[in-house]
Amino acid sequence: MILPSKSVPQANNLGRVLGAAQAVKNGSKTDLEIANFLGFTGTNEAKSRQGRYYRRAAQTLGLLSNENNNAALTQIGVDYLNSHIDNQRDMLIQILFRDNLLQLLLPYFQIYTEGIQEDVIVKFISSITNLAPSTAKRRFSTVKSWLKYVNVLKEEDRKVSLTSQELPLIEIQDFTKPLLPRMGELKQYEIVEERVQKAVQSFNLEISGIQTERANNAHHKLVNFVAERVKRAGGRPTFNRLIDLATQMNTSQYIFEMKSITDENASSQMRKGKVQLEEYKYLQNLPEAVLVLVIETLPTKYNWWVDFVETASPIKLLWDGNNELYASPKTREELAFLWQ
């Protein structure tokens, strides 16, 4: 079992889930007070049951905490409810995709961009939670209603897919999970988790360095720059604490590493990026993945690196220049979707 069944969302009405958070902001603490705010009627016992139902769903999304029937807003809940209405939808999408089940489903939406049969997803949910198929189907109905609420789900011929242009760049929180899994092949989860756990001692130091680099404005710009091109081509890019960007286009898988560059650090940054990409391919158990190194600029004295990287290794080299993406003619042809 990859996901405890109690972690799978149940509350179909996302508006009421958000209302539970609003109730707490307005002073409600107990399940009964939340239910009264939401307008439920009946006995106090029945109302408390309804209030608890939606309060727990708000907890699942990280909006609320609770101790001894005393609910409180989390920082995520405070930030969401205090945000400007123009920003709330994007924030809510990010919040939804932090949900444990949606975190596991997102890579499949990323891979199967033309849509996934609903019964395939239900079977997958049942396999990772040990829920009965009928219960898994009801739980997936909840997920669909949440995604419809923020207008990112498409349904057609009993297939579901995500609208790539509407989605922000989503982080897969658990970096021991596959970024590009193959549906139904649960062995990949075991392989990736085992490999990452073995490497975690060395990564504890590396993650700190990665987070420092990601705080760099140039690095952040590169990630968003490439992610937007991937989305424009119909891909659903994701990332985790280690990997800057990953996506699948048609049947090909891509792992991207971004590096900010100066004349002084160009050699070390490009060497580091090359090694990191090879490590990530191994850790994610993606032997056929296309590795792409994206650098901030290509210093003139390192022009030879274009030929070196692409002939001595399977890595593709891209670089930014005046908000335009550059590559060798061969790489540009092989990664044509980035220039669509």
Ordered DSSP codes for 64-103: EEESSS-EEE-HHHHHHHHS-HHHHHHHHHHHHTTSHHHH
Burial of 264 (0-12, 13-18, 19+ CB in 10 A): exposed
What pLDDT, in 10s, does the model give residues 233-262?
Answer: 988 889 998 899 999 988 899 999 999 887
Write down the mean pLDDT value for the chain.
88
Give the three-state DSSP class for 236.
Answer: coil
Helix axes 44-60, 14-25, angle to 10 degrees: 100
pLDDT digits 0-9 by tens, 81-101: 999 988 899 899 999 988 888
pTM equals 0.81
The CA distances from residue 52 to 40, 107, 136, in Å, are 12, 31, 21
Q: How many CB atoms lie within 10 A of CB 68?
A: 5
- pLDDT of 164 reads 65
* Predicted local confidence at residue 57, as pLDDT: 93
Q: Is the pLDDT of residue 215 over 60?
A: no
| Contacts of 70 by beta carbon, 8 Å cutoff, 6+ apart | 29, 30
What digits encode the pLDDT tens for the residues 281-326?
999 999 999 999 999 888 778 778 778 877 777 899 999 877 889 9
Q: Are 108 and 92 in contact (CB under 8 A)?
A: no
Tell me what pLDDT residue 48 has.
Answer: 96
Question: pLDDT (tens digit, 9 = 90+) per residue, 130-185?
Answer: 899 999 999 999 999 999 999 999 998 889 998 866 678 888 888 898 998 877 67
Q: What percent of the chain has pLDDT over 70?
A: 94
**266-283 tens-digit pLDDT:** 888 888 898 899 999 999
The torsion angle over the Cα atoms of residues 297, 302, 305 and 307, rounded to 10 degrees, is: 100
* Domains parsed from the chain with CATH numbers: 5-84 (1.10.10.10), 92-168 (1.10.10), 187-339 (3.40.1350.10)
Q: Which residues are CB-neighbours of 270 under 8 A, at least 6 positions away?
A: 259, 261, 293, 295, 302, 305, 309
pLDDT at 214 exceeding the cut of 80: no
Residue 172 or 76, more confident: 76
Distance CA 142, CA 81 (A): 22
Confidence class for position 59, pLDDT limits 50, 70, 90: very high
Dist CA 292 CA 286 (whole Å): 14
- Residue-level pLDDT at 165: 67
Residue indicated by tokens 């044509």: 336
pLDDT tens figures, 98-113: 888 888 888 888 778 7
